[in-house]
Amino acid sequence: MLENINATRMEQLRLRKKVALAMRGHKLLSQKRDEISRRLVKIAASLKTIRENVEKELLETSRRFMMARATMEPEDINAALEVPTKKFNLAISFASIMSVRVPELAKEMSGDIMCYGFSTTSGELDIALRALERAMDNLIELAEKEKQAQLLATELQMTRRRVNVLEYVVIPDIQETIKYIYSKLGEAERDNISRLMKIADMIRA
C-alpha cells in the first residue's frame, strides 16, 4: 500500500536506483530472450532436415531387413545376429547456450557390425546392417538437437515470464511509488512554505 511508504528523499533516491537496476535487468533479459528465440529457430530448421534424413534411413533399413528375412531362414538370421561384435558407447558432454546447459552427444564405436559368416546369410542383411550403422549419426544428432531445443524452449518461457513481470509489474509499481513520494514531498514543501509565510506575517505584524 502506498500509504505505508516512507515518503522521504532517501526513499525516493533508493527507489530510483532500484528502478534503474530493474530496467537494466529488463534490457538484458530481453536480449537473452531474443537470442534464445533466434537459436531455437536455427535448431528447428536443422531438426526438420535431420528428422527427414533419419526417417528415410530407418525406412530403408527396415525395408532391407524385411528383404533379408524373405531370403533367409529365421534360424540363420537369429544365429547371424546372436553374438554382436560391434561395441557402442555414447559420450555426453555439456555446452552452454545463453547460460543454458545443453548436452552434446558423440558416439564411440568399435568392432564390425557384421559378426557372422557369409555362407548362410544374404547380401540384403549386410546392406541392412550397414544402413543401420549409417543411420546412427543422424539419430544421435537428432536426439542432441531435440534435447537442446527442449531445454532452450523451457528457458525461453521462463525468461519471457521474467521480462513480463519486470515490464508490467515491477517497474510500473516502483515508478508509481516514486510519483507518490514526489507528490507527498511536494505537499510537505508547500506546507512548509505556507507556515514560513505565516510566521513572516506574524513577525511583520
- With contact defined as beta carbons under 8 Å apart, do 55 and 129 qualify? no
- With contact defined as beta carbons under 8 Å apart, do 124 and 68 qualify? yes
CATH topology of domain 2-198: Helix Hairpins (1.10.287)
For range 91-98, the mean pLDDT = 88
200 to 18, 32, 197, 203, 205: CA distances (angstroms): 40, 60, 5, 5, 9
pLDDT tens for 108-122 read 777 777 776 666 777
Measured distance between the N- and C-terminal CA atoms of the chain, rounded to whole angstroms: 44
Q: Residue ranges of the domains in the chain?
A: 2-198
pLDDT tens for 130-144 read 888 888 888 999 999
In whole angstroms, what is the distance from residue 189 CA to residue 99 CA? 49
- State pTM to two decimals: 0.74
pLDDT at 150: 94
pLDDT at 74: 81
In whole angstroms, what is the distance from residue 42 CA to residue 29 CA? 20
Quickly list H helices, 9-122: 9-71, 74-80
pLDDT at 94: 92
Q: What angle do CA 28, 150, 43 make, to 5 degrees?
A: 80
In whole angstroms, what is the distance from residue 172 CA to residue 133 CA? 58
Percent with pLDDT over 70 in the chain: 93
205 pLDDT band, cuts 50/70/90, is low
For range 44-55, the mean pLDDT = 90
78 to 73, 122, 190: CA distances (angstroms): 9, 13, 97
pLDDT tens for 54-88 read 999 889 888 888 888 888 878 877 777 776 677 77
C-alpha cell at 5: 511508504
